[in-house]
Structure 1
Amino acid sequence: QLQFALRLGDNPRQVVTTTPQNVAVLKAILKNPSTVKTHAPTEANRAYLAASFLEEVQARFAGSSLGKQELEGLLLEDIEGALWRQSGFDALRLSAVPHLSRIVVAVDPPVTGHKGSDECGIVVVGAFTDGPPQDWRAVVLEDASVTGASPDEWARAAIAAMDRHKADRLVAEVNQGGDLVERMIRQIDPLVPYRAVRATRGKVVRAEPVSALYEQGRVSHLRGLDKLEAQMCLMTQMGYQGKGSPDRVDALVWALTDLVVEPSETHRRPQVRAL
């Protein structure tokens, strides 16, 4: 309605300053062809803000959806049919790593290895698997994905992630590279515990059981997983809505499938037989 008041002068303009909330009026303004947008995070105002304020809000909200909105000035929009929503990650955030039964590093290698290649998804996940499957919990520890890496470089990055987290196994999708994937990895570490997995179903079908674990509150995230979470929010029932391939999400799905989904399907409860 303010626009109707801007009727005088040669070039009437309005300035809108706001935290980018996911509301229809703001999105309409941003989509208007005549809108000129500037953007700055809270950090850009450091010279005019109390240092203690910055330290406090960064410590409390950095990496959360509220922090991305209020501190980074990002407009967070949920896509219709998304398997994950940004707001859901905040309740799953951990500041420390709990006791874990097993840790795996999952790798989704790219088809090629040059600057224009897809990312190589490398995700580290741990799980607590004592007791019945409904009590199992998982924690996403690190997104170690690399971009534009040669096969030797992504293999070294995967082994380095194994070493950092003292992982129990490396899981790699071999649809694209076949035996070459294992050869590259064993050139770096011949004794690495390794499992090759091959996708026989679509990405959405494979991701749905993992999404269900999140809905049940059984998967937590450490901080620093922004790029992975952004890709997750673009996975929908109709497929991936982002550019390129969701390699980080693929690696996450393989890790949680290996740690939780498949073992829970084969887990048998103790039974009593009459003799």
Structure 2
Amino acid sequence: AQTPGDARDVMIKGRSGLLAVCPPWNRPDYEPSNLTLTWPNGCIAHIRSAHNPEKVRGLGGDFAWVDELAAWPAMKGRETWDNLMMGMREGENPQVCVTTTPKPIPLIRELIEEKFTVVTEGSSYENRDNLAPKYFDKILAKYEGTNLGLQEIYGKLLDQMEGALWTRSLIDKHRVKKAPPLVLAVVGVDPTGGVAETGIVGGGLAANGHVYVVCDVSSKGSPGEWGRAVVEDAYNSFEMDRVVGEKNYGGTMVEHTVQIAARDLGKAVSYKDVHATRGKIIRAEPVVALYEQGRVHHVGTFPQLEGEMTMWRQGERSPNRLDALVWMITELAVDALKPVEQVEVSWG
């Protein structure tokens, strides 16, 4: 569950929770202080949540029930899932049952695409006998025929989140297999404040004024690890001209990390600080406008980056890959919006 309270109120003590659906002769003993459920046959279930991924470490088992995976926070949710998978190592056939609204987050898309995943869809109408009549008259009728209805009522996985700034069709429409010669290439870096990935996205500006996204080498690890990824996997491998990183976060931490990695690798890196003087939604809107004008092209596919782009909505914390993309495109083209021969390049 997303939080310990969700696990208790929904999965254990809820109307359709384990204590309610298990028959008296096979009802587990719930021990809140130990975070366990113990069945008469000796089977023990440990209760954990995405609120604290570290608590999932070390547990081993052969079956897990995961509820509302789509509601798990992006960074902690991924770490919780990864830790859970490490513990599914006992018995002859370890299995995980995921019950969730099918929001198109990257993790759910990955699970659906795995060859051993079995997907079962169900609509609210199949559960009609257990729901209040007014729920159908007032609530479901309101959302019939909408994208939200397809997701929430019929359990359909949509291509993008309702209200997201980017759509998959917008990205796909201008996707290319190869970029033309680039006259200026930049790596955008957005560091993490914890265990999440550091966003590292590279692209370049061509003579026609169009931007081409060429790499996403976002890295989950220590500053030394992601600094090396910036220099070796992006800057050097794709022959970039500059690295841009947000100074607001950690002062000069990004520049310091990148330059240390460059020194250790024997490389010279041009670096520029950028400053977040506007909110993230305001910074992203000009970039979205470039996509809508057909001036941004993804060279190949970037599943995790594109998943973040089509999932992020105003008011939510923007993920790191997306922020790195916005910094990169802003540096290359947002202030120009004209052919490159008229762009004034300042190396600072």
Q: TM-score, normalised by structure 1?
A: 0.63
> In the alignment, which residue of structure 1 is the partner of 2:66?
none
Superposed CA offset, 1:80-100 (max 9, x none): 332101122211111112121
Superposed CA offset, 1:103-139 (max 9, x none): 1111001124xxxx12100001111145xxxxx1011
Return closer, same or farther for 1:251/1:25 CA change in 2, 3 Å cut-off: closer
Q: Select 2:228's aligned residue among 156, 175, 184.
A: 156
Q: How does 1:146-185 map to 2 (within 5 A)?
A: 146-147=219-220, 149-160=221-232, 161-185=234-258
Q: 2:286 aligned with 1:196, yes or no?
A: no
Q: CA deviation at 1:186?
A: 1.1
Q: Select 2:215's aligned residue among 129, 137, 142.
A: 142
Q: Select 1:254's aligned residue among 324, 327, 347.
A: 327
Q: Equivalent residue of 2:237, what SS?
A: helix
Return closer, same or farther for 1:28/1:140 CA change in 2, 3 Å cut-off: same
- Residue type of the partner of 1:159? V
Q: Equivalent residue of 2:244, what SS?
A: strand
Q: Equivalent residue of 1:263, what SS?
A: coil
Q: TM-score, normalised by structure 2?
A: 0.51
Q: 2:206 aligned with 1:128, yes or no?
A: yes
- Residue type of the partner of 1:194? Y
Superposed CA offset, 1:4-50 (max 9, x none): 9xxxxxxxxxxxxxxxxx9778646654xxxxxxxxxxxxxxxxxxx
Distance 1:24 1:179 in 2: 43
Q: Is the 8 A contact 2:211 2:296 kept in 1?
A: yes
Return closer, same or farther for 1:249/1:26 CA change in 2, 3 Å cut-off: closer
Q: CA RMSD in A?
A: 2.8
Q: How does 1:8-157 map to 2 (within 5 A)?
A: 27=151, 30-31=154-155, 75-112=157-194, 117-129=195-207, 136-147=209-220, 149-157=221-229
Distance 1:264 1:23 in 2: 34
Q: Is the 8 A contact 1:203 1:239 kept in 2?
A: no
Distance 2:289 2:149 in 1: 33
Q: How many residues align?
A: 196
Q: Which has the higher contact order (CA 8 A, sep 6+)?
A: 1
- Residue type of the partner of 2:165? L
Return closer, same or farther for 1:207/1:28 CA change in 2, 3 Å cut-off: closer
Q: Is the 8 A contact 1:81 1:238 kept in 2?
A: no
Distance 1:192 1:94 in 2: 28
Range 93-102 or range 77-86, more displaced: 77-86
- Residue type of the partner of 2:302? L
Distance 2:225 2:186 in 1: 19
> In the alignment, which residue of structure 1 is the partner of 2:288?
211
Return closer, same or farther for 1:174/1:79 CA change in 2, 3 Å cut-off: same
Q: Equivalent residue of 1:256, what SS?
A: helix
Among all aligned residue pairs of Structure 1 and Structure 2, give the percentage whose two residues are the same amino acid.
Answer: 41
Q: Is the 8 A contact 1:159 1:188 kept in 2?
A: yes
Q: Radius of gyration: which is bigger? A: 2
For structure 1, which runs of at least 5 residues remain unmatched after alignment? 5-21, 32-73, 131-135, 270-275
Distance 2:162 2:235 in 1: 36
Return closer, same or farther for 1:77/1:187 CA change in 2, 3 Å cut-off: same
Q: Is the 8 A contact 1:79 1:233 kept in 2?
A: yes
